Amino acid sequence: MDTVLRNGTVVTATDTYRADLGIEGSRIAMIGQELQGDRVLDVDGKYIFPGGVDPHTHLELDFMDTVSSDDFYTGTVAAACGGTTTIIDYAEQTEGGTLRQAVNSWRAKADPKVVIDYGLHVSITDAREDILTEMEDMVTAGVSSFKCYLAYPERLRDDELLRVFIRARETGALVNVHCENGWLVDWTTSQLLSEGKTGPRWHPRSRPAPYEEEATQRAVTLASIAQAPMYVVHLTCLGALNAARRARDAGQQVLVETCPQYLLLDVGSYDEPGFGGAKYVLSPPLRESENLDVLWRGIAAGDVDSIGTDHCPFNLAGQKDRGRNDFTKIPNGMPGVETRLPLLYHEGVNSGRITLNRFVELVATNPARSFGLFPQKGTIAVGSDADLVVWDPDREMPLTLDNLHMNVDYSPYEQKTVRGYPELVLSRGKVIVRDNQFVGQRGAGRFLERSPFSLG
């Protein structure tokens, strides 16, 4: 063996056991006792998790007249430091452009910089006939999921979304839907602005929970007509969760993602003094506090499949502050790629809300399964990539800006200290993080060609 992790406690979505892990090259080669290797790392007292898989990031995204502040180097370094070894980023189709052009442009940005493996979804913002045809080529090329917006100027009409779902069923793709009713958001926004309501606290009032509930129900109905599977991105509220639950109860394949910010922060954050509320301007917005409990219970009950981040950071200075006099000009998005595992472990496992195995399922196994990466990613098994996190359950880490690696000028969790943090992170057998320091290589990550959708 090249490397042996000795005496750790291996945790997968289904099992927890003490073992040695033997790594040859980039893969897990043996799981057993008393394994020998060229390099033996004693990890007694530590958990070994499969590396996290973040199914929802926006690095170097050109959005609302600016660009998200993490590029594919800083964003993937930050991901790695927080225990995530795979991301799936969103390539965006441009007006008049093709899906292949979107993927090529994202790969040109990402390939020279990524420090961990990555895949791409592609957002369909112009559902022309030739684009519906092109979906098949994308699936063949390993881009087996598409995103459709129901909000923002890029949103699709219902007939367009239905046609995307039909093509997805025909081509073996999964459609990820951003569920907010953009028409209602636009109308409410103009009402608020006309009343002089321009501060960040009006952002959540411009796009309330019923607008998400309606859009989720509509998307679920269209997916059902098309008999296509569907993945709801960043679900935030009871009404939307109920729409997904009803569909699942009726036998529909509706997968649900939520994000740590919707489990931990609420609408009160928009009242931070000064312009502080701008830190939390993202869409959908943070919700009334009762939704947090609803989501945690949904997670425990199995109604939520994956925890992503929707990592889309913008600096307060020079980016968010463009909207000082008009909340609609605050670029929408928040940082989170680095803090996903630590927050979910601290707030979920330490507090007894979820088990260790469920934690692994939410942050690694289910995202890998949903997006055609399992069992290469998302689990610990002989033959799987040696993407591993050696987790110190006792390590305390204040989530202050100076402890984090994300390229953004604030931490949404500045006051929070978590217990449980990565000690070592391995990507395809190589140690890339040691004690919160990145020790890997720029450009060492690889593009992942993902399989068509199948939950097996």
Q: Which residues of the shown chain bind ligand URP in the complex (CB under 6 A)?
A: 58, 178, 282-283, 310, 312, 332-333
Least distance in Å: CB of 207 to ligand URP? 10
Least distance in Å: CB of 295 to ligand URP? 16
310 part of the interface to Zn ion, by CB under 5 A = yes
**CB proximity list for 203: less than 8 A, separation 6 or greater:** 270, 277, 281, 285, 327, 330
The burial class, CB within 10 Å (0-12 / 13-18 / 19+), for 240 is buried
Least distance in Å: CB of 207 to Zn ion? 14
Residue 52: enclosing H or E segment and its boundaries?
Answer: strand 52-57
SS3 430: strand
Residue recorded with tokens 């729409």: 243
Residue 77: enclosing H or E segment and its boundaries?
Answer: helix 74-81
392 part of the interface to Zn ion, by CB under 5 A = no
Q: At 424, which amino acid appears?
A: L
Least distance in Å: CB of 91 to ligand URP? 13
Q: How far apart are CA 404 and CA 36, in angstroms?
A: 35
Site string for Zn ion, 251-290 (x = CB under 5 A): ----------------------------------------
**CB proximity list for 24: less than 8 A, separation 6 or greater:** 1, 2, 429
Q: Please, which residue, 70 or 310, has the CB nearer to ligand URP?
A: 310
134 part of the interface to Zn ion, by CB under 5 A = no
Omega before 229 cis (within 30°)?
A: no
Residue 333's binding partner out of Zn ion, ligand URP, none, with CB under 5 to 8 Å set by partner kind = ligand URP
Q: Please, which residue, 335 or 429, has the CB nearer to ligand URP?
A: 335
Q: At 261, which amino acid appears?
A: Q
Least distance in Å: CB of 83 to ligand URP? 22
Residue 340's binding partner out of Zn ion, ligand URP, none, with CB under 5 to 8 Å set by partner kind = none
Omega before 284 cis (within 30°)?
A: yes
Least distance in Å: CB of 55 to ligand URP? 12
Q: Please, which residue, 37 or 333, has the CB nearer to ligand URP?
A: 333
Residue 332's binding partner out of Zn ion, ligand URP, none, with CB under 5 to 8 Å set by partner kind = ligand URP
CA atoms within 13 A on the CB side of 48: 26
**CB proximity list for 46: less than 8 A, separation 6 or greater:** 8, 9, 390, 391, 392, 393, 423
Q: Please, which residue, 20 or 310, has the CB nearer to Zn ion?
A: 310
Least distance in Å: CB of 169 to ligand URP? 24
Alpha helices in 82-181 (DSSP H): 99-110, 129-140, 158-171
Enumerate binding residues for Zn ion (CB under 5 A). Answer: 310
